[in-house]
Homo-oligomer: A and B are copies of this chain.
Amino acid sequence: MKAEIIAVGTELLLGQIVNTNAQYLSQKLASLGIDVYFQTVVGDNPGRLRQAIEIGRSRADLLVFTGGLGPTQDDLTKDVLADYLNLGLRLHEPSMAKIEQLFASRGLHMVESNRRQAMSIEGAEPLENTTGLAVGNGLTADGTLYLLLPGPPKEMKPMMDGAGENWLRSNLVDEQPLYSRILKFAGIGESNLEATLLDLIDGQVDPTLAPYAKEGEVAIRVSTKAGSEAEASVKIDAAVAMIKERAGDYLYAERDVPIEEEIIRLLRASRRKLASAESISGGLLAELITNVPGSSGEFLGGVVTYTNHMKHRLLSVPMSQLEGEGAPGAISESTAALMAERVRELAGADFGISLTGVAGPAESEGKPVGLVYFGLAERGKPTVVHTMNLSGGRTMIRIRAVKAALYRLWLSLRD
């Protein structure tokens, strides 16, 4: 079954609010095995709404509306759809009673316009609104299904999950639900990952493999329609096994989590603690890690030693190491190593990690923009320093340096 989501509201077109309803409904419909081919947003305008209905009907079997069920003159969804289908509007007594009772209980005079929220399209099934006043509608006309839901998420979601889903299921020409698993990768770019898996991605019909980039991370969605979760898992496991053969070293999770969350999980599992010393990344590394809920158990803290003075003062890196004739300088393999080791000792952690380099705009210590050293000091093991040459603007270099560092850390935690 093909569906289209039509969100009605000028505030969406003005960018005053984000259309989170479309995401919620898309996920919901996918879980019911219904394919969403289009999402449309249209304003509180009868002519354009009618146009959207016309187009939607021509390309979908199910139109899911959200918004435009409220009491104001702007709330037109029921009126316009009824008019388009040459159907009337009927007052839904139970909804009306509920509205009157609510106003009475608050000792308020009921504004007449509230009657609009109790109107139902002729022949439609009224869908109860458990968290608001506007009644929803489920309607079948000329072989097209119309589901009318309120706009406010706190009313839309309960109605969709309750009366809406029930009405949908009872009107579905039995479809198999879609099951998906997200695979998250690090240390490899989207295009390289796809090249590695190209024949699988193109060849795989069931399950399907869909790669996509998401905030500097790479993900692959493995999806299949199946009669049961168990049946789906068997098919998905087989596909994942093939992917692991090719790119197992980059696959850090089989669910949609950032790599820093996996790192915290691995640290917790092995009862180990982490501390960081940042120069080039200026706190970004610590910020990502501490953004993981509960990370305070594994991340002891860090320093942002932006100047040589601070590297010396906080981490007791010798000034002779940082400045003067023939000194390695702040941006060097040996300084990265010292920073990682000293912060590990200072915090009493099992892992100390460090980043020092040149983010630009200008070179520093005669070293080129994009040169970054990542230091990894582990209790009882020799310190390792990775050298990177990154490109991009100042911000991108900082992000790439941190992502690469997190990947290296994850690798050594995994092994």
Contacts and interface: CB of A to CB of B under 8 A. Distances in A.
A269 interface: no
B19 A19 contact: yes
A370 B105 contact: yes
A287 B284 contact: yes
Interface in A153-204: 154, 180, 182, 189-192, 194-195, 198, 201-202
A301 B304 contact: yes
Contacts of A108: 189, 192
Interface stretch (A241-249, A374-382, A393-401): A393-401
A190 to B, nearest CB: 7
Contacts of A113: 191, 194-195
A286 B282 contact: yes
Interface in A2-42: 9-20, 22-28, 30, 36-42
A190 B72 contact: yes
B12 A26 contact: yes
Contact of A36 (B14, B182, B295): B14
B15 A18 contact: no
Given A12-B39, A313-B347, A370-B105, A301 B307 contact: yes
Given A301-B307, A310-B347, A194 B72 contact: yes
B191 A72 contact: yes
B290 A300 contact: no
B27 A37 contact: no
Nearest to A51: B59
Interface in A184-228: 189-192, 194-195, 198, 201-202, 210-216, 221
Contacts of A212: 9, 11, 15-16, 74
Contacts of A11: 210, 212, 221
A134 B192 CA distance: 15
A182 B113 CA distance: 23
A305 interface: yes
A289 interface: yes
Contacts of A40: 38-41
A313 B301 CA distance: 11
Nearest to A39: B41
Interface residues of A, number: 118
A331 to B, nearest CB: 12
A123 interface: no
A287 B287 contact: yes
Contact of A37 (B24, B48, B283): B48
B303 A213 contact: no
A285 interface: yes
B202 A73 contact: yes
Interface stretch (A77-85, A316-324, A332-340, A384-392): A384-392
Nearest to A214: B17
Contacts of A26: 12-15
A88 interface: no
Nearest to A52: B38
Interface of A: 9-20, 22-28, 30, 36-43, 45, 48, 51-52, 55, 59, 70-74, 101-102, 105-108, 111, 113-114, 130-131, 152, 154, 180, 182, 189-192, 194-195, 198, 201-202, 210-216, 221, 256, 275-276, 278, 281-287, 289-291, 293-296, 299-307, 309-310, 313-314, 346-348, 360-361, 370, 388-396, 398
6 smallest CB-CB distances across A and B, nearest first, come from A282-B290, A15-B26, A283-B283, A283-B286, A15-B27, A301-B310
